[in-house]
């Protein structure tokens, strides 16, 4: 069912819950289109706050402060999903929240998410809820080892995940959950990981970027390229799965679908994120519309932008490790010696190992050309330092 709404035109104020790098790039896209931007998070001088018109600093549980924030904006969206549901509900008392609280409720909890997908016929990894050591032992007996044990809530970039290989590891693994609810997932011997970033408006207009192919290092996205090296049939299937998910959740806004491609050519949905995604950063330089502008268009009720690819593209994350390896500031000039390489930094003052500090984008004559350019540019950051 579609909902006809009046669009929020440039000059309106966008509210963002969360103030990290995704919020920063969304705020920059919004300002380019003439919107004002207010952000709310517990942090001050945040990546998004640095470029917003107004930065509200407060706990997500401080609902009076949250309502004060909501009164200053025309619509609220998210830059990450680990916002308490009461925060979203408090905003919704005053202004539209897109995607709405139901989407957040499902996607911020792995058991609810996997259950929702399975109920709607979306292929997922076999899983079991873990609320006791007996549950864990039963899941291992039924689904086998190796497997992955995750916390059901508040996990990303590999946080809250542990691989299980032997039965004697189960008691210690369960203890590491610290009493939190867990999810046991059967091990998937996948050939590659891809993601689809898709948008849907209140009037049911849908558009999806071509799938991105993702390579990880230490559970953190390392390099992404587009278009993914998969068949056209798998591309179509991945986009149609994304459409079914957004329509089933009645998403108004942007949602990312992370998928495994198995060795025998099947797709399994791994996780959902009701927001822009690290893999979609390449859209800022490789596509006619970036994922951030698309999120803005969707939540403000504007027609969606073209997802056409200008050229094959690749993105490389920049972690704090680059600063540590350089013994200070990386050699930006060396990386940018390739005129097709674009640098995007997030305004974070303190580089730490594993901390996302920015990324490099490039386009090329082919995917292989773009990937080689981006890897070479990143290597040059620390060569000679």
CATH code for the domain of 142 = 3.30.1490.20
Examine the domain organization and report whether 152 and 290 are in the same domain: no
Q: Which residues contact 175 (CB under 8 A, 6 or more apart)?
A: none
Q: Could you tell me if residue 105 is inside a domain?
A: no
| pLDDT tens figures, 302-349 | 999 999 999 999 999 999 999 999 999 999 999 999 999 999 999 999
Report the pLDDT value the prediction gives residue 154, as an integer from 0 to 100: 67
Check whether 179 has a pLDDT greater than 50. yes
CATH code for the domain of 259 = 3.30.470.20
User: 3-class SS at 247?
Assistant: helix
Domain boundary among 135, 158, 186: 186
Q: Kindly report the average pLDDT of the chain as a whole number.
A: 95
Tally of CA atoms within 13 A in the half-sphere of 38 that contains its CB: 19
Examine the domain organization and report whether 236 and 209 are in the same domain: yes
Examine the domain organization and report whether 47 and 68 are in the same domain: yes
Report the pLDDT value the prediction gives residue 1, as an integer from 0 to 100: 42
Domain boundary among 80, 97, 114: 97
Alpha carbons 227 and 346: distance in angstroms, whole number = 25
Report the pLDDT value the prediction gives residue 159, as an integer from 0 to 100: 60
Check whether 99 has a pLDDT greater than 90. yes
Task: Single out the residue of 115, 80, 77, 126 nearest to residue 97, CA to CA.
Answer: 77
Check whether 229 has a pLDDT greater than 90. yes
Q: What percent of the chain has pLDDT over 90?
A: 93
Alpha carbons 174 and 170: distance in angstroms, whole number = 6
Examine the domain organization and report whether 285 and 342 are in the same domain: yes
Kindly state the average pLDDT of the residues 257-283.
96
CATH code for the domain of 78 = 3.40.50.20
pTM: 0.94
Examine the domain organization and report whether 161 and 201 are in the same domain: no
Kindly state the average pLDDT of the residues 77-102.
94
Helix ranges restricted to H, 13-62:
21-32
Check whether 185 has a pLDDT greater than 80. yes
Domain boundary among 57, 77, 97: 97
Q: Could you tell me if residue 249 is inside a domain?
A: yes
Report the pLDDT value the prediction gives residue 81, as an integer from 0 to 100: 86
Q: Could you tell me if residue 140 is inside a domain?
A: yes
Going by pLDDT thresholds of 50, 70 and 90, the confidence category of residue 76 is: very high
Q: Could you tell me if residue 303 is inside a domain?
A: yes
DSSP assignment, residue 59? Answer: -
Kindly state the average pLDDT of the residues 79-102.
94
Q: Could you tell me if residue 208 is inside a domain?
A: yes
User: 3-class SS at 259?
Assistant: strand
Tally of CA atoms within 13 A in the half-sphere of 67 that contains its CB: 8
Examine the domain organization and report whether 137 and 228 are in the same domain: no
CA angle 351, 352, 353 (to 5 degrees): 130
Check whether 160 has a pLDDT greater than 80. no
| pLDDT tens figures, 6-43 | 899 999 999 999 999 999 999 999 999 999 999 999 99
Examine the domain organization and report whether 202 and 147 are in the same domain: no
Beta-strand runs (E) in the chain: 13-17, 36-41, 54-57, 75-78, 127-130, 147-151, 161-164, 182-186, 190-200, 206-208, 212-217, 220-226, 253-262, 267-273, 313-319, 341-345, 356-363
| pLDDT tens figures, 276-302 | 999 999 999 999 999 999 999 999 999
Containing structural domain, residue 169: 126-186
Task: Single out the residue of 184, 168, 169, 167 nearest to residue 132, CA to CA.
Answer: 184
Examine the domain organization and report whether 42 and 57 are in the same domain: yes
Q: Could you tell me if residue 115 is inside a domain?
A: no
Alpha carbons 135 and 99: distance in angstroms, whole number = 33
Going by pLDDT thresholds of 50, 70 and 90, the confidence category of residue 153 is: confident
Examine the domain organization and report whether 176 and 322 are in the same domain: no
Q: 157 versus 28: which is more confidently predicted?
A: 28
Kindly state the average pLDDT of the residues 201-207.
97
Kindly state the average pLDDT of the residues 57-69.
98
| pLDDT tens figures, 349-381 | 999 999 999 999 999 999 999 999 999 999 999
Q: Could you tell me if residue 287 is inside a domain?
A: yes
Alpha carbons 33 and 155: distance in angstroms, whole number = 33
Report the pLDDT value the prediction gives residue 158, as an integer from 0 to 100: 52
Examine the domain organization and report whether 252 and 311 are in the same domain: yes
Going by pLDDT thresholds of 50, 70 and 90, the confidence category of residue 259 is: very high
Examine the domain organization and report whether 130 and 68 are in the same domain: no
Q: Which residues contact 179 (CB under 8 A, 6 or more apart)?
A: none
Do residues 233 and 278 lie in contact, with contact meaning Cβ atoms separated by under 8 Å? no
Do residues 280 and 197 lie in contact, with contact meaning Cβ atoms separated by under 8 Å? yes
First to last CA, the chain: 58
Examine the domain organization and report whether 308 and 290 are in the same domain: yes
Quickly list DSSP for 100-149: -HHHHHHHTBHHHHHHHHHHTT--B--EEEESSHHHHHHHHHHH-SSEEE
Number of domains into which the chain is organized: 3
Alpha carbons 144 and 136: distance in angstroms, whole number = 11
Q: Which residues contact 333 (CB under 8 A, 6 or more apart)?
A: none
Q: Could you tell me if residue 113 is inside a domain?
A: no
């Amino acid at each position: 069912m579609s909902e006809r709404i009046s669009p929020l035109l440039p000059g309106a104020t966008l509210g963002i819950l969360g103030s990290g790098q995704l919020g920063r790039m969304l705020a920059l896209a919004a300002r380019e289109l003439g919107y004002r931007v207010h952000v709310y998070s517990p942090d001050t001088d945040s990546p998004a706050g640095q470029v917003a018109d107004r930065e509200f600093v407060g706990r997500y549980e401080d609902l009076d402060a949250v309502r004060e924030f909501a009164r200053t904006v025309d619509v609220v969206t998210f830059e990450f999903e680990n916002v308490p549901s009461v925060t979203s509900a408090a905003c919704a008392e005053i202004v539209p929240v897109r995607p709405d609280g139901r989407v957040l409720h499902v996607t911020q909890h792995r058991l609810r998410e996997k259950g929702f997908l399975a109920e709607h016929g979306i292929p997922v990894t076999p899983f079991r809820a873990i609320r006791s050591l007996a549950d864990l032992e039963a899941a291992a007996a039924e689904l086998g080892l190796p497997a992955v044990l995750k916390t059901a809530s508040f996990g990303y970039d590999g946080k809250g995940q542990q691989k299980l290989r032997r039965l004697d590891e189960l008691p210690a693994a369960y203890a590491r959950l610290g009493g939190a609810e867990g999810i046991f997932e059967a091990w998937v011997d996948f050939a590659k990981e891809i993601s689809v970033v898709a948008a849907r408006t209140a009037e049911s207009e849908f558009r999806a970027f071509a799938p991105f192919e993702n390579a990880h290092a230490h559970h953190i996205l390392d390099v992404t390229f587009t278009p993914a090296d998969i068949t056209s049939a798998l591309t179509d299937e991945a986009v149609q799965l994304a459409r079914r998910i957004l329509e089933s959740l009645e998403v108004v806004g942007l949602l990312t679908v992370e998928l495994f491609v198995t060795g025998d050519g099947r797709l399994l949905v791994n996780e959902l994120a009701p927001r822009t995604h690290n893999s979609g950063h390449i859209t800022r330089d490789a596509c006619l519309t970036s994922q951030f502008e698309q999120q803005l268009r969707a939540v403000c009720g504007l027609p969606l932008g073209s997802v056409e690819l200008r050229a094959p593209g690749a993105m490389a994350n920049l972690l704090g490790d680059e600063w540590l390896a350089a013994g200070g500031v990386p050699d930006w000039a060396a990386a940018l010696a390739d005129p097709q390489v674009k640098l995007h930094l997030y305004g974070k003052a303190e580089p730490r190992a594993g901390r996302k500090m920015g990324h490099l984008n490039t386009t090329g004559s082919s995917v292989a050309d773009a990937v080689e350019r981006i890897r070479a540019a990143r290597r040059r950051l620390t060569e000679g330092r």
